[in-house]
Amino acid sequence: MPLLELKQINHFFGGLQAVHNFNLTIEPGELIGLIGPNGAGKTTIFNLVSGFYKPTQGDILFHEKSIIHLKPHQVTSLGLARTFQNIRMWNSMTVLENLCISQHYRMGYSFMDAIFSTKTYHEHEKAVVKRAMEILESLELSEAAGEYPKNLPYGLQRRVEIGRALTIKPSLLLLDEPAAGMNPSDIDRLIELIQWIREQFHLTIWLIEHQMKVVMSLCERLCVLDFGQIIAEGSPSDIKNNPRVIKAYLGDEEADDDAEN
């Protein structure tokens, strides 16, 4: 049973077609990459899946149920979490508070409980903080709990953002360019982290990435997007040798690739 199915997705921004007949099926447990040149429509696809945009045409099935009519927070509550290309934390609150708020959808109390400080309120609040601390501990971030995210080094901010996504108890995690702006040693740690959370939390991961090192060492399957259309799909080694991909995307980066491999 596929975890996520995108069927014949077309998306327009006014007259511009950002996504063209996009089809993809993700099986549980996969680690799949989406690559493509800038402006190919990768982030648009993530925004469509997370419910931020409604596709002009087509259907998206998560656990075999259509999610295109749901609001973003409802999609999240089904177990579909994501991170953002440019880290989007709530910077006026501490790391711990950030990880608590992301559990907002399963807050089992109403605002009245909070105002009257009822028993339900305290129970749920405790559970939320406990969950957040568990995640922070497992990611070795418990020392950062009281810090403000913007004061953390960039690599840690990424870790915190991934932690925030994990509080949702996701079955599918979308990572939008997790390695963007990182130095090589950060990237190595990120690769380890992604492999580790995948096993630890039994995740299916779908990631967008420009860093060939990340894509090639992590992904089992790759999907190459150009002008909103899939131009190639397959294992990393197939993709590397695909002439269409080289032409569209890797062509101008061949030298870099050789250096990395």
Partner 1 sequence: MRHYLSLIVYLAICLLIIVIFQQNWLNAYIQIVMMFIGINIMLSSSLNLINGYMGEFSCGHAGFMAVGAYTASLLNMGLFTTSSIFGRSLFIGPQYSVFLFPVTLIIAGFCAALVGLLVAVPSFRTRGDYLAIITLAVNYIVKSSIENIQEIGGARGFMGMRQVVNAMNNVINIPWLMIWILAFAGTSIIALKRFVGSTYGKGVIAIRDDEIAAEIMSVNTQRVKLIAFMLSSGIAGIAGGLFAHVIGYINPGTFTIMKSTEIMVMVYLGGMGSLSGSVLSAVLFTVMLEFLRPLQLFKWVLIPLLLIILMLFRPEGLMGNRELSDVFPGLRRFFPSKEY
Name the residues that contact partner 1, by CB under 8 A: 50-52, 71-73, 76-77, 81-82, 84, 88-93, 97, 100-105, 107, 109-111, 114-115, 117, 121, 125-126, 128-130, 164-165, 168
Closer to partner 1 by CB, 17 or 118: give it. Answer: 118
| Among candidate residues 120, 124, 85, the one with its CA nearest the CA of residue 105 | 124
Closer to partner 1 by CB, 128 or 214: give it. Answer: 128
Q: Cβ of residue 226: shortest distance to partner 1, in angstroms?
A: 26
**C-alpha span between 141 and 152 (Å, rounded):** 11
Closer to partner 1 by CB, 37 or 72: give it. Answer: 72
Closer to partner 1 by CB, 165 or 208: give it. Answer: 165
DSSP assignment of 208-248, as one string? E---HHHHHHH-SEEEEEETTEEEEEE-HHHHHH-HHHIII
| Contact call for residues 14 and 38 (beta carbons, < 8 A) | no
Closer to partner 1 by CB, 145 or 215: give it. Answer: 145
Q: Cβ of residue 91: shortest distance to partner 1, in angstroms?
A: 6
Closer to partner 1 by CB, 84 or 227: give it. Answer: 84
Q: Cβ of residue 157: shortest distance to partner 1, in angstroms?
A: 13
Q: Cβ of residue 234: shortest distance to partner 1, in angstroms?
A: 30
Q: Cβ of residue 187: shortest distance to partner 1, in angstroms?
A: 24
Q: Cβ of residue 80: shortest distance to partner 1, in angstroms?
A: 10
Closer to partner 1 by CB, 72 or 236: give it. Answer: 72
Q: Give 21: exposed, middle or buried? Use CB within 10 Å, 0-12, 13-18, 19+.
A: middle
Q: Give 241: exposed, middle or buried? Use CB within 10 Å, 0-12, 13-18, 19+.
A: exposed
Q: Cβ of residue 251: shortest distance to partner 1, in angstroms?
A: 34
With left for phi above 0 and alpha for psi between -120 and 50, is residue 63 left, alpha or beta? left
**C-alpha span between 177 and 86 (Å, rounded):** 8
**C-alpha span between 259 and 261 (Å, rounded):** 6
**C-alpha span between 23 and 5 (Å, rounded):** 8
Residues pairing with 17 in the sheet: 12
